[in-house]
Amino acid sequence: MAEPMGFFTDTSVCIGCKACEVACKAWNQLPARNGGKVQLSGQSYDNTVSLSGIQWRHVKFIEQFSADRSTGRWLMMSDVCKHCVRAACLEACPTGAIIRTEFDTVVIQQDVCNGCRACISACPFGVIEINPETNTAMKCTLCYDRLQAGLVPACAQACPTQSIQFGPISELRQRAQARLEQLHSQGVTQARLYGHDESILGGLNSFYLLLDEPETYGLPSQPHLPSTRVPTAATLSTAAAVALGLLGLVGLRKQRMDQLAATSQRADDRE
Amino acid sequence: MGSNMAENHPVAFRWVAEAKRRGAKLVHVDPRFTRTSALADLYVPLRSGTDIAFLGGLIRYVIENEKYFKDYVVNYTNAATIIRDEFQDTEDLEGVFSGLKEAPQGTNQKYVYDNATWQYKRTAPFDAAKAREEAKKAATFAEMIQKMVPPAAEKDPTLQHPRTVFQIVRRHFSRYTPEMVEQICGTPKELFLRVAELLTENSGPERTTMFVYAMGWTQHTYGVQNIGAAALLQLLLGNVGRPGGGILALRGHATIQGSTDVPTLHHSIHGYMAHPDARRNHDTLRDYMLTETRPTGYWANLPKFLVSYLKSMYGAAATPENDFGYDWHPKIAGDYSFMASFHAMAKGEIKGAFFFGQNPATSINGGLIRRALANLDWMVVKDNFEIETAAFWYKSPEVESGELKPEQIKTEVFLFPSAQVAEIEGTFTNTQRWIQFHEKAADPPGDCRSDAWFTHQLALRLKKLYADSTLPRDQGFKNLTWDYDYEPGKYPTNTRIQGEPDVMKIWREINGFKTDTGELLKGFGELKDDGSTTCASWIYCGAYPEEGKFLPASRNPDPDDQPGTHLGWAYAWPANRRILYNRASADPNGNPWSERKKLVWWDAGQKKWVGYDVPDFPATKAPDTPAKPGAAGMDAHDGKSPFILLTDGKGWLFVPTGLADGPLPTHYEPIESPVPNLLYPKWPTNPIAKVYEHERNQLAAVGDPQFPIVLTTYRLTEHHLSGAMSRWLPWLAELQPELFVEISPELAAEKGIQNLDLVRITSKRGTVVAKALVTPRLRPLTVNGKPVHQIGMPWHWGFMGLSVGDVVNDLTSWVADPNVMIHEAKALLVNVEKAR
């Protein structure tokens, strides 16, 4: 396997220009929603609204202002598939369409996917959706075709402020740590990294520098794999089965006792 | 200030982001909280159109707190120069300068200035008219210029004399206090003072501050003075000619810089030489030289630049005997700027028009423009799509309403499909004056052709038409050189397009060559005024110094450990200098002001200027060189005068010539303002602003209760200008799919408007409907004790294309800055109401 590769997205220099969205669509030949004829969302400057089967990069806009404007900021963040080291979609995929590549990225093989949607409900970040044109599940491939040709992914190439940085994960982690320390020393105490270590799904190969709680950006603080819930669920099921069994036994016993009582009563009656 | 760099110049903003990573502080002063504000360390709101009050406040702060860079100010600016006794300031005349007089007919102004009293006080009497008579008799241009040299100006290096520029500036801005700034701009005083502190902490020998502006400063009836105020401030702080300093003008379009250098301007020919003008004393070549040549400083070389330009126009036909064809050259006879031209069109005075990459049907006072277009006999639109201008006759709001009927519009429209930038080879010039060559990636589809192809083919056909004319007026066109066809056998073979001109031949003409040998010129120092050199644009001379060496195509960046001036990347005019006036990066003795900010310095051993940049100074002129009394040209300057293009070699805090509306920036309100002028109640607006009178160009009076809200128009990252390059593209249309109006929650509550409601916005000129985007990024400001609401609208929309919307410019008016005739789209008055 080649070295694990991925994205470090430094939201502190994101200018919300959406060049990543357009570069992604241009390279991957993804259509605009409804041919580009859509309505204003009314949600800040976000009109593509969410990641989807035809929207593999999505810039979020979060307006935070106090009523008197004494404090205020406008956060922007380019969202994308996290290429999790422990990827829920990959685990959930029944056909084996979702694979881990030699770059440690997660890719849905379009010729294998049968559109069953198991991966959609498995993903804790809401990244995957069905592309209505192909009826298969689609998401960011981290430009697998470009990587194989030794090129930088289209979004990172287009990003004018280097908010989206591409490279070997080990190097990106060092860069992110240095940037975090710099921001802290400049008094930006709210800055934090997200997904840079194993604590989140074994590590996100697309990780972030955020300026607020993950929830502010619509990211879960503690995302779970469906499979991590399996032991608990199994225990609970066993317990439930035992309880039900016991209840059944109790019930049966009661029935029997009732029957016995009735019989004896009848016997008594007979007496 | 005056720019939304992150949104409108995102690629250049890369370097701001990089500077931030290295610890630079970013301050954004703007009426709206934009994507630039989002990245700023400090966001400061101000009422749109009050930048001079804000900058004037900073100027006062710097002077009163003695935060100016004293050595720089005394040596490198005209602070010590004494102005004529007759000069009267706005403080003396309640808001205007001496020299105000009623405007002549046809200027579209009420007043104009005579700048005679603004001049330097000379050490001896000087009769300019008499000198001119003497000069006219001179045998050579050099002798002629020599006779025009005035006596030296009076100075007081202690800056104490009450008529020194420094004291005049101090008095002029004395009332621009932080309290006054708050009253006028609506900027809280504490925020203003925080900006003043950051600015002064980051200026001086060790540090520099840069101002970045764009249309937020220019699109006002005092746009030039906005920038002048910044220049004054930066000179006081010593932030000009030094790395990390200066005033960065972000242009509104790719290679707008190039199109003013090799101009599409109405009042200027190549290299910022004045266009021959029937209204000025330009009757003969000699008259032109006498009127336009500044006898001291580098511009004393104007005769060399102009004669070489005329040689490039008329080639061998231009001889000393016929004044190098000067009489063939067209002269302007009036204001041919954008609004003036449409004003004439509205009156039926223009028959035909070409629109290349321009969409006037969605431009300033769009309703009036579209009605004016209907007066044309013919119109050529060359664009990528059928834009609003090409379709005005069957799809404009006036046609929809029934006012204009297609069958009654006589205008014949020719729509030519255009090639796009990647389908053309050529050069772009960016705002840093770098000329950069770009190659062609692919042939354009179908009949799409480059602008060069179109112009070349049109000229060839016109030349044929005129070939047999014997009319005197046609001789200039007949003698015009037009030799841009490829040499036989040299036409590129990897294209199906035929008839393109050879762009390197055009470059040969721009760069210039020796007329006898054809040898390319290595720089403008080689230019002559005797016809032995030809050069279209003196400032571009040297970019193509020899065959096979075309510097705009050069791509050799500095390695990481080098200073980073990147002299091997592209070519920066003039002479590949990256920072203009960089002599100012060294102290008067020629040593760097500080190690941290060193750029160019005097090497006493080598007896020349050296450094990381190409010195913008005579290469071997030592710092201790005295000025030669009475000399012309560069000899008039000493070795301590960095501003070589100015007559006295000094940065002008006070501008005695060149500006139509005063030697110092002065706060006036926009033509349409909700409040009176608190500083000069007698003169609410710029007294010499241009107003193009028309029944459809009505203006709201100051404080008009029907139009109480300030509208500022702007652009978004997702679209380009009138949308002609973006609203047709699905990937861009979906990013900002509909016209909207940004409204603060406070105004929305007052008007009962919810997010996404349809809102009607009305000015004295028109009405548009847009969806409301209610956002706390806009806020009401307290101005002179009362709340003032500001709303914002992007102006990218029109009635053609994939994403359509009302034309926001239907609200704007034909009023203009008197220097450059730019409109005022950043501050106008409107009302808003819920549409349904």
pLDDT in tens, B168-199: 999 999 999 999 999 999 999 999 999 999 99
CB nearest A17 (choices: B10, B775, B803) = B10
Q: Assess whether B284 and B237 both reside in one domain.
A: no
Q: Within this chain, do residues B646 and B769 fall inside the same structural domain, yes or no?
A: no
pLDDT on residue B480? 97
Rounded Cα gap, residues B520 and B169, in angstroms: 47
| Structural domain contains residue B448 | no
B93 and B191 belong to one structural domain: yes
Name the residue with tokens 């935060």: B67
> What residues in chain B have per-residue pLDDT under 70?
none
Same domain assignment for residues B123 and B269: no
Judge whether B224 and B820 are in contact, CB under 8 Å: yes
pLDDT given at position A263? 47
Task: Say which DSSP state A149 is in.
Answer: T
Same domain, B125 and B197: yes
Binary contact (B803, A39; C-beta < 8 A): no
Kindly list the residues from chain B whose CB atom is less than 8 angstroms away from the CB atom of residue A9.
Answer: none
Of the candidates B39, B756, B779, which has its C-beta nearest A69's C-beta?
Answer: B779
Residues of chain A neighbouring B385 (CB-CB closer than 8 A): none
Give the residue from B4, B42, B731, B790 with the most A CB atoms within 10 Å of its CB, the best one to mutate. B731
Instruction: Specify if B682 maps to a domain.
Output: no
Cβ pair A47:B43 closer than 8 A: no
| Complete DSSP assignment for B290-317 | HHH--SBSGGGGHHHHHHHHHHHHHGGG
Our CA dihedral for A11, A16, A20, A22, rounded to 10 degrees, sits at: 170
Indicate if B723 and B595 belong to the same structural domain.
no
The answer to whether residues B183 and B82 belong to one domain is: yes
Contacts of B284 (CB under 8 A, 6+ apart): B323, B326, B327
Q: Is B339 a domain residue?
A: no
Residues B41 and B171 in one domain: yes
Of B150, B146, B100, B148, residue with least CA distance to B121: B150
- Is B735 in Cβ contact with A40 (below 8 Å)? no
Name the A residues in 140-179 with CB < 8 Å from any B CB.
160-163, 179
What is the Cα B300 distance to its own chain's centre?
23
Closest chain B CA to residue A58: B735
| B705 and B630 in a common domain | no
Q: How many domains does chain B have?
A: 3
Q: What local confidence, expressed as pLDDT, does residue B813 receive?
A: 98
> How would you write the pLDDT of chain A (271 residues) with one tens digit per residue?
679 999 999 999 999 999 999 999 999 999 999 999 999 999 999 999 999 999 999 999 999 999 999 999 999 999 999 999 999 999 999 999 999 999 999 999 999 999 999 999 999 999 999 999 999 999 999 999 999 999 999 999 999 999 999 999 999 999 999 999 999 999 999 999 999 999 999 999 999 999 999 999 999 999 988 777 665 555 666 666 666 666 665 555 556 555 555 544 444 444 3
Residue B603 DSSP SS3: strand
Contacts of B236 (CB under 8 A, 6+ apart): B59, B62, B63, B68, B69, B73, B77, B653
**What pLDDT shows up at residue B561?**
84
CATH of the domain at B186: 3.40.228.10
**How high is the pLDDT of residue B261?**
94
Residue A18 touches chain B, beta carbons under 8 Å: yes
The CA angle B729-B731-B733, to the nearest 5 degrees, is 60
- Whose tokens are 């644009």? That residue is B537
Distance from the B536 Cα atom to the nearest Cα atom in chain A, whole angstroms: 36
CB contact under 8 A, B14 and A160: yes
- ipTM of this predicted structure: 0.94
- d(C-alpha A265, C-alpha A80), whole Å: 74
Is residue B157 in a domain? Answer: yes
Would you say residue B426 lies in a domain? Answer: no
Q: How far apart are CA B775 and CA B746, in angstroms?
A: 9
Flag if A32 and B734 touch (Cβ within 8 Å).
Answer: yes
Residue of chain B minimizing CA distance to A39: B737
Residue B361 lies in a domain: no
Judged by CB atoms closer than 8 Å, whether chains meet at A32 and B14 is answered as no
Chain A environment of B14 (Cβ under 8 Å): 160-162
The reply to whether B93 and B174 lie within a common domain is yes
Please write the tens of the pLDDT for every residue from B692-708. Answer: 999 999 999 999 999 99
pLDDT at position A261: 52
Residue B96, Cβ neighbours under 10 Å: how many? Answer: 22
B192 and B75 within one domain: yes
Give the residue from A40, A41, A185 with the most B CB atoms within 10 Å of its CB, the best one to mutate.
A40
- Residue B689 corresponds to which tokens in the numbers above? 């602003």
B177: distance to nearest CA of chain A, Å? 23
- Separation of alpha carbons B259 and B72, rounded Å: 34
Pick from B39, B737, B740: CB nearest A15: B39
Neighboring chain A residues of B10 at a CB cutoff of 8 Å: 15, 17, 19, 160-161
Are residue B5 and residue B122 in the same domain, yes or no?
A: yes
pLDDT tens-digit series, residues A173-214: 999 999 999 999 999 999 999 999 999 999 999 999 999 999
Are A23 and A1 contacting, i.e. CB atoms less than 8 angstroms apart?
Answer: no
- CA-CA-CA-CA torsion for B100, B105, B108, B110, nearest 10 degrees? 30
Residue B304: burial class (beta carbons within 10 Å; 0-12, 13-18, 19+):
buried
Tell me the nearest-neighbour CA distance from A207 into chain B, angstroms. Answer: 19
A4 in B contact zone (CB under 8 Å): no
**Tokens in use for B586?**
């060294």
A3 in reach of chain B (CB within 8 A): no
Look up the domain containing B587 and give its range: 1-97+115-135+152-250+578-667
Asked if residue B771 belongs to a domain, the reply is yes
Collapsing DSSP to helix, strand or coil, B383 comes out as strand
Q: Are B792 and B800 in contact (CB under 8 A)?
A: no
User: Smallest CA–CA separation between B756 and chain A, in Å?
Assistant: 6
Give residue A267's pLDDT: 42
3-class SS of residue B180: helix
pLDDT for res B21 = 86
**Interchain CB contacts (distance < 8 Å): A and B:** 116
Q: Do A42 and B771 touch (CB under 8 A)?
A: yes
- Give the dihedral of Cα atoms B389, B391, B393, B395; nearest 10 deg: -120
Nearest residue of A to residue B779, measured between CA atoms:
A69
CA distances from B320 to B307, B526, B529, B750 (A): 9, 18, 9, 72
What is the CATH number for B827?
2.40.40.20
Residue B58 lies in a domain: yes
Buried b (16+ CB within 10 A) or exposed e, B141-165: beebbbbbbbebbbbbeebebebbb
Substitution target in A9, A14, A15 with the highest count of B β-carbons within 10 Å is A15
CB B43 within 8 A of CB B192: no
Can you give the pLDDT at residue A257?
56
CB contact under 8 A, B775 and A40: no
Search chain B and give the residue with CA nearest A162: B14
